[in-house]
Structure 1
């Protein structure tokens, strides 16, 4: 049985995409770029902030435009209430159940670390995460295994005892690169192609099903 659960953040623990879409479209509109639909954003999310903005801008993704939209989005997102960004139903109970089983828990995401910690402090303050490894421009982002490697080293567990829990192909690649098993959740931003990936150990419909692996 597994002893370390490493979670992706957006689309796995928290449903954050609505506030991301709102504020990216505000940033684009303010600078006279075309806005995108919800589905178009879903297709572009998963990388770090520079990669996401580059995909959003498409053929207008010059370094100057990327910095412009990234800065505008950052300001708007920081000031927004983010009232649409909440843990998915059942996540809090899952984390409490894992904690009661003495499972170590951590987060590895391409979202900036301070942003993850803010959401965790606001909504999951009772949960003791071993480590939160978000995007750091000084280190490679997912699907690099850099973040997972740091977490596993701190947890001091064998690779076979760790499992990565995410929702998209980026998470599958991250787990594969780290050499650990992967669970994919269906309530996030993935698709059937992700669910059918042969590397995936299991696909779950509800948070409580994750307990079967611990």
Structure 2
């Protein structure tokens, strides 16, 4: 059987959001009198939730500092999350094709749930995602497979019939932990070596290659 569902990470996989994330956190760092970072540095700060983003951007500090950083970050980001963020080339037509082929589509991100939903609705309003989830209270973040497994159950698809598509080790580890097919995209925030080292079963450098990978991989293969 071909894969019946494709679960997508958001930042670095579906959308190029690094510049807006960096701008928001740099704004918060400057507000707190802390050094800022070039946008490229944020490619290694993101991926494991906003608290980890704050900790890495602050180069340490205590929980009170991180919480304060995030308060300013969230307020700024809420007003600027569409400034430079765009869908990666070729993905909108691919998602439409997959839907026509009967593949169930969903998003699972470590980004805050509200921002995840807002970005998907704003940038991909015509994509019929069956579910869109970000980080939610009480649910472990990726790479813990809990959310991915719950999402597969919600879609009515066995984990082995799902592909998990992402751009970081976190996504590949999530796929492996959930028993899903791991598909890495190389246009995101990390590199081929990281994806391979964490068990990517297929790699794509373009939307066309991603489509071929999703159509070519068989559940459990």
Fold shared per TM-score above 0.5: yes
Deviations along 1:8-60, whole A, 9 cap, x unmatched?
00000000010111111111011101111223211111111111111111232
Q: What is the root-mean-square deviation of aligned Cα atoms in Å?
A: 1.3
Question: 1:3 deviation in Å?
Answer: 0.8
Moved over 6 A (4+): none
Distance 2:211 2:42 in 1: 31
Three-state SS of the structure 2 residue aligned to 1:164 is strand
Bigger shift: residues 154-163 or 190-199 = 190-199
Shift of 1:163: 0.6
TM-score (norm 2): 0.92
Q: Which residue in 1 is equivalent to 2:48?
A: 47
Residue pair 2:112, 2:134 contacting (<8 A) in 1 also = yes
Q: How does 1:1-214 map to 2 (within 5 A)?
A: 1-60=2-61, 62-80=62-80, 82-197=82-197, 199-212=199-212, 213-214=214-215
TM-score with structure 1 setting the length = 0.95
- Take 1:196 and 1:146, find their aligned partners in 2: how far apart are those partners? 23
Aligned length: 213
**1:164-210 Cα shifts (integer Å, max 9, x gaps):** 00001111111111111110001111113223226211110111222
Gaps of 5+ in 1: none
